[in-house]
């Protein structure tokens, strides 16, 4: 087993492709080097891993305690048939995920990162987009930076799903809880300081609303404008999947989103979510 792996920067302003490394066979030395590479690039792609779900959990756990060990992000039912109805609550979640967001900003702890693997992918569409919010912050003018430094926003998955028009069924839903219950929204600063690198980034996304000191209309326009800015700059990258690939991203400085595809075609991905640190990723006081 080699201690060395190759790092090939993506054709983007962040991120790298890692080859020469089997994630399930990493030595401690290789892991330490990989972790530093992750902090530098924010997004790492690993081709030809073909990990079993149980092995994915073990790999993800090396990066920290897990918020969620494993769940399938899939449009397949248990019997293998494809979910296509717009009234299907899981389809609503899949479509909601097509908006730019950070994971778990609507929970008491924002997630640290995620390990994401591709098992079945459509031939067209279904990419995952990533936006480097460090570079989005750097691109803001000084007046906007000064303004944002003093602002906070509320975050809620219930809010973002309702805003997108994806109201869940009132009874017998397959997806209730974990952010979709009507818990009080959490408040977060709009300028995020990375706890390990010290770099500042913009923190918005589809779950954000209720900016401090603004009316509802002012806040919505402000957040929508920032999301449009952050999701359309040259600091974005959209990844076309092949089966067996694994991606690791730093949720503290990257937004992401799923891209549309023909939902009569199956798409099966597995997600393991790394828990945020209770000090650096906690909500702020109202």
% of the chain exceeding 90 in pLDDT: 86
Report the half-sphere exposure of 218 (CA within 13 A, side-chain side): 6
At 175, the pLDDT band (50, 70, 90 cuts) reads low
Per-chain mean pLDDT for the chain: 94
Top pLDDT among 143 and 182 is at 143
Put simply, whether the predicted model's pTM sits higher than 0.75 gets the answer yes
Q: What is the pLDDT of residue 3?
A: 67
> Mean per-residue pLDDT for 34-55?
97
Give percent of the chain above pLDDT 70.
94
Which pLDDT score, from 0 to 100, does residue 183 have? 74
Q: Which residue ranges make up each domain of the chain?
A: 6-274
Q: Please, which residues have CB within 8 angstroms of residue 81's CB and are 6 or more apart in sequence? A: none
pLDDT at position 259, please? 97
Q: Residue 5 pLDDT > 90, yes or no?
A: yes
pLDDT higher than threshold 90 for residue 130: yes
- For 141-164, how does the pLDDT look when each residue is reduced to its tens digit (9 = 90+)? 999 999 999 999 999 998 999 898
Average pLDDT over residues 44-65: 97
| Interval 227-241 mean pLDDT | 97
Instruction: Give the DSSP H or E segment for 228.
Output: helix 216-230
Examine the pLDDT at 176 and tell me if it is beyond 70. Answer: no
Sequence-distant (6+) residues with CB within 8 A of 219 are 153, 209, 210, 211
State the pLDDT at residue 2. Answer: 47
Q: Of 171 and 106, which is predicted with more confidence?
A: 106
Output 211 or 2, whichever has higher pLDDT: 211
pLDDT band at 88 (very low <50, low <70, confident <90, very high): confident
Task: Please state which CATH class domain 6-274 belongs to.
Answer: alpha beta
Q: Is the pLDDT of residue 249 over 90?
A: yes
201 by DSSP, 3-state: which? strand
Q: Residue 254 pLDDT more than 50?
A: yes
- 232-265 burial, b if ≥16 CB within 10 A, otherwise e? eeebbbebebeeebbbbbbbbbbbbbbeebebeb
Question: What confidence tier does 89 reach under pLDDT thresholds 50, 70, 90?
Answer: confident
pLDDT band at 79 (very low <50, low <70, confident <90, very high): very high
| Interval 213-234 mean pLDDT | 97
Mean pLDDT of all residues in 167-191: 73
């Amino acid at each position: 087993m080699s201690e060395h792996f190759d790092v090939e920067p993506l054709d983007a302003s962040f991120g790298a492709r890692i080859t020469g490394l089997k994630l399930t066979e990493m030595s401690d030395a290789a892991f330490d080097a990989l972790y530093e590479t992750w902090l530098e690039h924010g997004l790492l792609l690993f081709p030809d891993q073909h990990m079993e779900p149980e092995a994915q959990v073990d790999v993800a756990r090396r990066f920290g305690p897990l918020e969620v060990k494993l769940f399938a992000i899939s449009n397949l039912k248990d019997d293998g048939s494809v979910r296509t109805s717009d009234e299907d609550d899981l389809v609503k979640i899949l479509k909601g995920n097509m908006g730019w967001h950070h994971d778990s900003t609507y929970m008491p702890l924002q997630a640290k990162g995620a390990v994401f693997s591709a098992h079945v992918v459509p031939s067209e569409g279904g990419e995952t987009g990533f936006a480097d919010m460090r570079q989005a912050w750097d691109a803001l003018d000084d007046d906007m930076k000064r303004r944002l430094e003093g602002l906070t926003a509320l975050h809620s998955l219930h809010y973002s799903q309702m805003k997108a028009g994806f109201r869940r069924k009132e009874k017998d839903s397959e997806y209730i809880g974990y952010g979709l219950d009507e818990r009080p929204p959490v408040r977060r600063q709009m300028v995020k300081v990375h706890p390990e690198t010290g770099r500042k980034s913009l923190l918005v996304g589809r779950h954000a609303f209720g900016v401090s000191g603004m009316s509802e209309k002012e806040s919505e326009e402000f957040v929508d404008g920032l999301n449009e800015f952050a999701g359309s700059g040259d600091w974005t990258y959209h990844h076309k999947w092949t089966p067996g690939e694994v991606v690791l991203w730093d949720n503290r400085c990257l937004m992401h989103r799923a891209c549309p595809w023909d939902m009569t075609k199956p798409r099966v991905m597995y997600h393991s979510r790394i828990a945020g640190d209770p000090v650096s990723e906690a909500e702020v006081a109202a």
